Amino acid sequence: MKKFTLTLILALLCVVTAGCDKDKVDVDVQKLGDNLTQKIKFEDQLTQIDEDIAKDIYEINFEKVKATAFIGSGATSEELVIFEAESKDKAKQILTLAKKHIEEQKQDYESYNPKEIKKLDNAIVIQKDKYVIICVTEDVSVEKIINNSLK
Amino acid sequence: MNNYTLKNRNQKTKIIFYVLFTIIIVMLSVLFLKKNLKSDAKPVPSKEASSIKTTSPLTTKQETSKSQTTSSSNNYKKMLTVPKSDEVDNSYFDDAIFIGDSRTEGLMLYTGLNNATFYTHKGLMVNTAFTSPAINLNGKKVSVMDAVKNNKKFSKAYIMLGINELGWASPNLYIEKYSLIVDTIKATNPNAKIYVQSLIPVTKSKSSSSKVFNNENINKFNNYLYDMCKEKQVYYLNISEALAEKNGCIPEESAYDGIHLKKPYCEKWLEYIKTHTVQN
């Protein structure tokens, strides 16, 4: 009886832990974007841009990608962009494109406005499940804010 | 009164009648011709006027083409600084290209005009438009003008370049390179309408604090652009009209750093473009 109970408890534990995907995230990208622009400090005034333009900028040409993007005025490199892909694998592809975008921004700003290079060097480019978040800012608590918002 | 006297009298009356009739006909013809001459846009010098008057309706081919050239040249002069027109909708820009620097990038980002083709790059200048690999074309980075040359489908080209060149020692070089951009567009698509946009002013605070980015320099550059447009027979879009206040500066609240326009002012800019087009 004891052995049976123990086995049953272990089996239940296995089932429970298997069902729990710690990395699983499910958010509304627009609400997340609105939330983050309120909490993260930006030097520039960020403005939301069209989803399709955001995808063009990041050269994302596959389907079923949602985007919420806030871009600075052009005087700075500041931005906050959130992509939601169809799957984790697609998000991984977006992550690669996002890193490429940041590198290109560094090349552009090197001659255009070198003051921005520090922000771009510290840019947040992360993947959480099927989401990719890019943030360029001077705010040092940006990573903590983003992680807290995704819990 | 004898018959002879009566006959004479009748003849005299007839002669007087015919003369009066002829005078009236001639006067009416003169009036009619004067009215037609007045409807031409440009006042015709008297020498030409007399030649037009005396020319028969079946003019020579040379005279016809000369009058057509004069007429189209007159029409261009009327439209050099594009006047206000009926507003077009965004679909008008389906076959439009925009060439510019970070300010034009703002126009693209903030107005949602995603049906037009934007060849823009931060810091773009009239010389780097030919040399700097800035535009993604089939997976490869090419210069703005190479991208333009590769595009045969546009029918309107809007250009705004110059804010990054304000500090150049030689405005002649600026116009020389700008002219090359215009020539390249013409060679790529001879029928495209080319709109050279005036440089948008900066804010008062920016203008008074910068030796380079100030409205005195911007006004000088705009004069150079206007003269270039006249020479090249392309259109000049006076964007400043839409955005500047009476003091010639853009409002302080319109630009974060005094230069780069915020969304509402990019929208005003687009509004101006949509209400200043050359239809024919």
What is the least distance, in Å, from the CA of A33 to any CA of chain B? 17
Structure tokens at B62: 């040379």
Note the pTM of the prediction, 2 decimals: 0.78
Contact A73 B122 (CB under 8 A): no
Nearest CB partner across the interface for B123, out of A52, A53, A111: A111
Find the CB nearest B259 among A44, A75, A111.
A75
Are residues B257 and A73, on separate chains, in Cβ contact within 8 Å?
yes
Which site among B256, B265, B266, B270 would you substitute to test the A interface, given the most A Cβ atoms closer than 10 Å to its Cβ? B256
Does any CB of chain A come closer than 8 Å to the CB of residue B165? no
CA angle B103, B104, B110 (to 5 degrees): 90
Chain A residue whose CA is closest to B102: A74
State the Cα–Cα distance between residues A94 and A59, nearest whole angstrom.
9
- Is B260–A73 a contact, with Cβ atoms under 8 angstroms apart? yes
* Nearest in space to B271 (alpha carbons), one of B116, B85, B109: B85
Reference A137, options A123, A117, A151, A121; nearest CA is: A123
Beta-carbon count within 10 A of A17 CB: 9
pLDDT of residue B11: 83
Mind telling me how many Å the CA of B125 is from chain A's nearest CA?
Answer: 11
Question: Quick one: pLDDT at residue B41?
Answer: 37
Q: Per residue of chain A (151 residues), what is the pLDDT tens digit?
A: 777 777 776 666 655 555 555 667 889 999 999 999 999 999 999 999 999 999 999 999 989 999 999 999 888 999 999 999 999 999 999 999 999 999 999 999 998 999 999 999 999 999 999 999 999 999 999 999 999 998 7
- Quick: pLDDT tens for A74-95: 889 999 999 999 999 999 999 9
For residues B157 and B186, what is the distance between their CA atoms, to the nearest angstrom?
10
Q: Report strand pairing: B117-120 vs B235-237.
A: unpaired
Q: Does B267 touch chain A (CB under 8 A)?
A: no
Quote the Cα angle for B142-B146-B149, to 5°: 145
Instruction: Look at residue B69 in the predicted model and tell me its pLDDT.
Output: 53
How far from A94 is each of A46, A122, A125, A126, B134, CA to CA, in Å? 22, 19, 10, 10, 21
The alpha carbon of residue A146 and the mean position of all alpha carbons in its chain are separated, in whole angstroms, by 8
Q: How many CA atoms lie within 13 A of B90 on its CB side?
A: 10
Substitution target in A50, A73, A106, A109 with the highest count of B β-carbons within 10 Å is: A73
Q: Which residues of chain B have pLDDT under 50?
A: 38-66, 68
A112 CB neighbours in chain B (<8 A) are 102, 122-123
Contact residues, chain A, for B203 at CB < 8 Å = none
Return the closest-CA partner of residue A81 out of A64, A99, A63. Answer: A99
CA distances to A54, A91, A126, A132 from A51, in Å: 5, 16, 19, 14
| Residue found by looking up tokens 């903030």 in the block | B110
Interface predicted TM-score (ipTM) of this complex, two decimals: 0.82
Q: What is the dihedral of CA B217, B218, B219, B223, to 10 degrees?
A: 100
Cβ–Cβ of A53/B114 closer than 8 Å?
yes
SS (H, E, C) B167-228: CCCCHHHHHHHHHHHHHHHHHHCCCCEEEEECCCCCEHHHHHHCCCCCHHHHHHHHHHHHHH
**Do residues A137 and A89 make contact, with C-beta atoms less than 8 angstroms apart?**
no
Which residues, in sequence order, are bridge partners of residue A48? A70
